[in-house]
Amino acid sequence: MQKNMERDILTERMLSDDTTEEQRLRREKRREELEKKRENQKKAAEAAARRSKALKKYVLIALAVFLVVLALFGKLLIQIKELNDSRNEAMKKLSELQQQIEELEATLENVSSPEYIESQARSQLHMIYPNEVMYIVEDEQ
Coil vs helix vs strand at 141: coil
Question: What global pTM score does this model have?
Answer: 0.47
| pLDDT per residue as tens, the chain (141 positions) | 566 666 666 666 655 555 677 777 888 888 888 888 888 888 888 888 888 888 999 999 999 999 999 999 999 999 999 999 999 999 999 999 999 999 999 999 988 889 998 888 888 888 888 888 887 778 876
- Cβ(123)–Cβ(115) below 8 Å: no
Q: What is the pLDDT of residue 14?
A: 59
What's the CA gap between 136 and 126, in Å, rounded?
Answer: 9
- Cβ(106)–Cβ(99) below 8 Å: no
Q: What is the pLDDT of residue 139?
A: 80
Coil vs helix vs strand at 43: helix
Q: What is the pLDDT of residue 129?
A: 87
DSSP conformational letter for 130: T
Beta-carbon contacts of residue 120 (< 8 Å; ≥ 6 apart) = 111
Q: What is the pLDDT of residue 136?
A: 77
Domain boundaries, the chain: 2-124
